Amino acid sequence: MYEPGNWGDLLKLLWLAAIIRWKGRQGGTVNYFDPFAGAVKYPLPAKSRFRFESAEPAGLDFIRPDFVAAGFWPSAASAAGLLVRGVVEVFDIDPDRLGSWEGMAGCRRLEAESGWALLENHPPDSDGVWLLDHYDFLADWRKRLPMAVRQAEATTILLYLYNRSAGNAEAFNDYRMFRRALENAWETRPKRVGRVAADGFLPHAHHEMLLLPGGNDAEKAGFNQLLEELETATAAVNEALERTGRFGA
C-alpha cells in the first residue's frame, strides 16, 4: 500500500525540484507533464512527517507552507506546480484522482485512454520536465522503456522505479536485464540513477530515480552542476534513512 511521504517520495521531490530550478536558471519557461499524477494531495502520516523532518530537506521547504504544515503530502505534480512558470499537464486513469485537479490554477487536465498513450503521443518539449511515476514500470519495462528512451531524445524525463531486485533471484536477474537494455538503448549519452532503500531497518526493495536528460539540457554548460545537486540530494536522504535505521522509535 502506498504511504505518502515515503523515502522514495522525498528523493523524487528533491530530484524534481532540483531539475526544475536548474532549468529555470537556464532561462525561459519550464513545463511539466505527468501522465500518472495521482491526486492533488494525500493525508500525511506521522511516520512520514518524521521522515520529512529527519531528512532536513532544505530543497523541500517550498512544500511546507501549503502542504506539510496543513498535514498533507503533495503529489509530485502539485509540488512541481509550485515551481514551474509554464504549463502543468496532468492525467490519471482513476477519475476521482483526476477530478481532484479540477479548478487548479495553471493546471491542464488531459483526457486519454491511458497515461502510456499520452506519453507515446505527446509532442517533444525541450522546455519540459516529464515525470513517469508508474508504480510498476519495471514489471513491463520491455514494452515501456523504448517509448521513454525515444521521448527522452528531446525532452528531459525523470522516471521513478520501485526496484524489488533484492527480493529474489528472478527479480534480480530481470533488473539486470533492464539495466543492460537501458545501457544499450541510451548508449553513451549522460544519465544518472539515484537510489535509497525502502526501509532503514530491513530493506527488501529500493526506490530509484532515473534521469534521462533531453539532448538540449545535456549539452548545456551547467549540466554537471545539476548532476552534483542530484548526488547531494540523494546522499542527504540516504544519510537520514541510515540514521533512522541505527536509532529510532
Name all domains of the chain by residue range, CATH numbers in brackets. Answer: 7-246 (3.40.50.150)
pLDDT of residue 2: 83
Write the single-letter amino acid at 192.
R
- pLDDT of amino acid 203: 84
- pLDDT of res. 248: 65
What's the pLDDT score for residue 249?
A: 60
Paired residues of 29 in beta bridges = none
What are the Cα distances from residue 29, in Å, to 5, 17, 137, 203, 249?
A: 28, 15, 29, 39, 44
What percent of the chain clears pLDDT 70, i.e. is strictly above it? 99
Nearest-10 Cα torsion for 39, 44, 48, 49: 130
pLDDT computed for residue 105 by the predictor = 85
And the C-alpha cell for 21? 530550478
The Cβ-side half-sphere exposure at 134, using a 13 Å CA radius, reads: 16
Residue type, 231: E
pLDDT confidence of residue 55:
82
- At 180-213, the pLDDT tens digits run 999 999 999 999 999 999 988 778 899 999 999 9
Point out the residues of the chain with pLDDT beneath 70: 248-249
Question: Looking at residue 54, what is its pLDDT?
Answer: 85
